[in-house]
């Protein structure tokens, strides 16, 4: 024996359907608002005014021919080799800021100590993926690099 499909059944079906849609939307909105907010620069007008200066600085850095290669050892300690256009190691003052890609962990400022053939971090990085902002000052020049590592 089959039951008739009544108005009450239709009402319950509609409530279940739209209840599911609303629940999924609320869940997605909570995840979206809890991760990367999308802000790349704080003030886009000011950034646009400084853009040509940033391009000139990038061209000057390219002319230096410096390259950096970051690696992480088994203990999570960051190693960076900085070389010049001639392949020689560039020694100077290096600072590194490690940022979590989604901002879930606080930024880590890492002190880099000149070591054998490059620079070694004074402490290991926490486990995960990190975006590195590497600032190098040597021979009266400044260079800025960005790279990513996984510990």
DSSP result, 76-93: S-EEEEEE-TTSPBP-SE
Total domains in the chain come to 1
Can you give the pLDDT at residue 42?
Answer: 83
Can you give the pLDDT at residue 1?
Answer: 66
**Domain that includes residue 126, residue range:** 65-150
Q: Does residue 118 belong to any structural domain of this protein?
A: yes
**pLDDT exceeds cutoff 90 at 116:** no
Q: Does residue 90 belong to any structural domain of this protein?
A: yes
Q: Does residue 57 belong to any structural domain of this protein?
A: no
Can you give the pLDDT at residue 41?
Answer: 81
Alpha carbon 4 to its chain centroid, in Å, reads 58
CATH code, domain carrying 110? 2.60.40.3340
Longest dimension (CA), the chain: 91
Q: Does residue 30 belong to any structural domain of this protein?
A: no
Q: Confidence class of residue 55 from pLDDT cuts 50, 70 and 90?
A: very high
Alpha carbon distance 145, 131 (integer Å): 11
Q: Does residue 87 belong to any structural domain of this protein?
A: yes
- What pLDDT, in 10s, does the model give residues 57-108? 999 999 999 999 999 998 899 999 999 999 888 889 999 999 988 877 889 8
Q: Does residue 45 belong to any structural domain of this protein?
A: no
Alpha carbon distance 25, 50 (integer Å): 40
Can you give the pLDDT at residue 103?
Answer: 75
Length of the chain: 151
**Cβ–Cβ under 8 Å, residues 88 and 111:** no
Q: Does residue 35 belong to any structural domain of this protein?
A: no
Span 128-133, average pLDDT: 93
Q: What are phi and psi of 118, to 5 degrees?
A: 170, -145
Q: Confidence class of residue 119 from pLDDT cuts 50, 70 and 90?
A: very high
Alpha carbon distance 7, 11 (integer Å): 6
Q: Does residue 18 belong to any structural domain of this protein?
A: no
**pLDDT exceeds cutoff 80 at 4:** yes
**pLDDT exceeds cutoff 90 at 12:** yes
Alpha carbon distance 15, 96 (integer Å): 54
Q: What are phi and psi of 2, to 5 degrees?
A: -105, 150
């Amino acid at each position: 024996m089959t039951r008739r499909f009544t108005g009450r059944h239709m009402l319950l079906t509609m409530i279940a359907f739209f209840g599911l849609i609303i629940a999924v939307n609320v869940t997605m909105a909570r995840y979206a608002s809890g991760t990367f907010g999308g802000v790349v620069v704080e003030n886009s007008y000011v950034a646009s005014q400084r853009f040509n200066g940033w391009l000139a600085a990038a061209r000057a850095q390219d002319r230096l021919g410096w390259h950096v290669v970051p690696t992480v050892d088994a203990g999570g300690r960051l190693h960076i080799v900085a070389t010049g256009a001639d392949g020689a190691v560039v020694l100077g003052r290096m600072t590194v800021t490690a940022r979590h890609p989604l901002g879930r962990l606080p930024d880590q400022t890492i002190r880099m100590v000149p070591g054998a053939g490059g620079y070694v971090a004074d402490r290991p990085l926490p486990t995960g993926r990190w975006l590195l902002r590497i600032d190098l000052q040597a021979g009266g020049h400044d260079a800025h690099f960005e790279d990513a590592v996984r510990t």
